[in-house]
Structures are given as C-alpha cells and as structure tokens.
Amino acid sequence: MPRINNDLFRTLVLTILAGLAVLIVSVANRDVYSKELIDTRFKAVEREMSYIEEDVRWLVRRMGGTPSAEAGEDNHTPQSD
C-alpha cells in the first residue's frame, strides 16, 4: 500500500474539518422559533401596548388633559428651567 503524501493527507483532513464546521454552523443558525410562534408573540405584545395606550389616555383625561401627542404643554406638564 503506497504511503499518502503528507500534503495530500493534510488537505484531505482540512477539507473534512471545513465540511464539519459548515455543517455545525448551518445547524446552529437554523430558525429557533417558527414564524407562527413569533407572530403570536408579536400580536400579544401589540395587544399589551394597546392596553397601555388606553390606560395612559384614561389617566390623561382623568387629570383634565387631552390625550393627544400634539396636545403640547398644560398645567400638568413640568416646566423646564
């Protein structure tokens, strides 16, 4: 049996290792969450944000303000020095 050239052996081993590295990285980078799960979580966050917005509007109306981003300053807004 002829002896394998040292450079050829190194090239073969490095090629196999590179292939394994590509395989490991591709498995590690796969999607962890499904699109449906992400969409469900995103909708839940949007719903919570909607509740918070409603609560803030209610608090602003209760204090006699106008629940609008364009309302500007009122008597409840701290004045800057």
Q: Where are the domains of the chain?
A: 30-65
User: With b meaning 16 or more CB within 10 Å and e meaning fewer, what string describes 45-68?
Assistant: eeeeeeeeeeeeeeebeeeeeeee
pLDDT computed for residue 25 by the predictor: 85
Tell me the pLDDT band of 81, cut-offs 50, 70 and 90.
very low
What value does the mean pLDDT take over residues 5-29? 84
Is residue 2's pLDDT more than 70? no
pTM: 0.44
What sign for the dihedral angle of Cα 24, 26, 27, 33?
positive
What value does the mean pLDDT take over residues 49-71? 78
Is residue 43's pLDDT more than 90? yes
Strand locations in the chain, DSSP E? none
